[in-house]
Structure 1
């Protein structure tokens, strides 16, 4: 069963394990947090945006922040200030990010948070180390969390409205091809372990919120029940960290932001695991 490490977040997202701590975005509070094993939280950056915003790091250790509504990729300087790393606003709103082991940055977006939009306008952008940006995938039904295998050869993305985890082969130049269903399950912010399985928030066959460990092809290997909706998870130091909040898919974030701010139901939950993290992020 999951244990509560920290309460009082608005909505925690973009869970990452970095420098021995859990990092995450605290949507609604405009904060990027680092949380240690005792549950002590530290504000590492403040992001002047609404939501979504998500995080990862360049190979040199500099923090990147996706400022979603503005279509900007920000970079944190040594001073702590956030500056524009890449302006992607011409492509539309952005959501999640993953940086691979070669310094290629993948950012997705193109969908809002309305589950009934019924279209597949989502995309993945590639920002290469030389600073060029190009679109490398289209027709995604709300692109969400992404992982890349340790050898930098496969990118897997959650299509939250499509109800699938979708895989692409990664070419030497970072291009994506050979689109296919990796597993017939929805997902959100996710991570991979050394066995090649993926942990992601989702739902049981009975429709109950849970964090699932999924094998390629769709077999559910482990299930961690959750009281509230799960938004993201990551692995670190023998622990699965899960971010949850009392929010429902039929709700609008914008319309309910005041309630989410006042109730602050966001939590960081933990669960012991035995297989370490692998891949990116």
Structure 2
């Protein structure tokens, strides 16, 4: 696959270049993968999973409602409420676009990132969705990724990329231009970009003590921290770097840990592309999907504390479920979402 990507047939080169000239690749030397990145199972192993089937595919994010039911969205735009005990599924809204990250408030209302539409609010099942944030600096938000609301009404959200729409997410990863953002919306509606230049900004978590925000940088294998209070307020550092896979959505669990969906282990072919001249990645981006570096099928989640220590590392081979974009922990149960699967996977935190 790598050879074919680097050396397409001579007759296709002109078409490939013409299709990819809008891409502006930035060279990057990824950190050397750790030994953990090459392993396919965790120790202790991830407990067995069961599936909650959905009428649609791609439950990209999952949130737990105050009553214990789950909410997710699928690639057809539907928003579903799921009873994890019975498996009953109820369609509660149509997002009018691809639903991505979500946040559930204490009253059961939802904030939903919708590709091409921005941040929307669903007050209750069956209600019309209200656009809370549709533009940033006068430009429509094409790729909102994850969102959270503080108790005072402040909303924090990530924008994965300002250059590409959702269906070109792999182009942004390949380009590595760093156009992702972490944004705050004050209760009065004022918007402020807190952090710019993020590499495919994704999951967002607010520390329980409101001292900092965490944002996953899928394109750089790291989790970045933005300080809200104290002597470091307004600055950033990295909670953890050189992760063994690509972090996606993040949620604060009932156990106080930050749970992270690892959508894919590190792909050696992709890492080899980043330091090469930009023309190579333009060629690769223009090739059919079957010839480009694809996410490795795996079921993988991590849990970290706010010091950056990995407390849980759970992985199994992606034979029946894969591309885990989200994990919601609730009282020791883990609910996993996926970019492509037609179900929510359910497992548990191993007993210690």
Q: TM-score range by the shorter chain?
A: 0.7 to 0.9
Asked if residue 133 in structure 1 is aligned to residue 191 in structure 2, the reply is yes
Q: TM-score, normalised by structure 2?
A: 0.64
- Of 210, 214, 225, the residue aligned with 2:316 is 225
1:14 matched residue in structure 2: 61
- Cα deviation, 1:10-33, whole Å, max 9, x if unaligned, reads 11122111121121121x221111
- Of 172, 177, 183, the residue aligned with 2:234 is 177
- Of 135, 142, 153, the residue aligned with 1:103 is 153
1:253 matched residue in structure 2: none
Answer 1 or 2: which has greater strand percent: 1
Unpaired runs of 5+ residues, structure 2, are 1-46, 268-295
Stretch moving more, 3-12 or 82-91: 82-91
> Could you tell me how far apart the structure 2 residues matched to 1:122 and 1:205 are?
20
- Of 189, 195, 213, the residue aligned with 1:155 is 213
- Of 323, 328, 332, the residue aligned with 1:234 is 328
Q: Secondary structure at the match of 2:174?
A: helix
> Could you tell me how far apart the structure 1 residues matched to 2:346 and 2:134 are?
36
Q: Secondary structure at the match of 1:11?
A: coil
Q: TM-score, normalised by structure 1?
A: 0.79
> Could you tell me how far apart the structure 1 residues matched to 2:52 and 2:63 are?
15
Structure 1 segments of 4+ aligned residues over 6 angstroms from their partners: 205-208
- Cα deviation, 1:75-100, whole Å, max 9, x if unaligned, reads 22456111222332534322211112
Stretch moving more, 212-221 or 10-19: 212-221
1:85 matched residue in structure 2: 132
* C-alpha deviation, 1:214, in angstroms: 3.3
Asked if residue 198 in structure 1 is aligned to residue 258 in structure 2, the reply is yes
How well do the aligned residues superpose, as a CA RMSD in angstroms?
A: 2.8
Q: Secondary structure at the match of 1:177?
A: coil
> Could you tell me how far apart the structure 1 residues matched to 2:239 and 2:261 are?
16
- Of 57, 68, 74, the residue aligned with 2:115 is 68
In the alignment of these two chains, the number of paired residues is: 252
- Cα deviation, 1:112-149, whole Å, max 9, x if unaligned, reads 41220221011112111122122111110000011111
* Structure with max Cα Rg: 2
Q: Secondary structure at the match of 1:189?
A: strand
Cα gap change, 1:63 to 1:196, in 2 (>3 Å): closer
Contact 1:52 1:95 in 2 (8 A): no
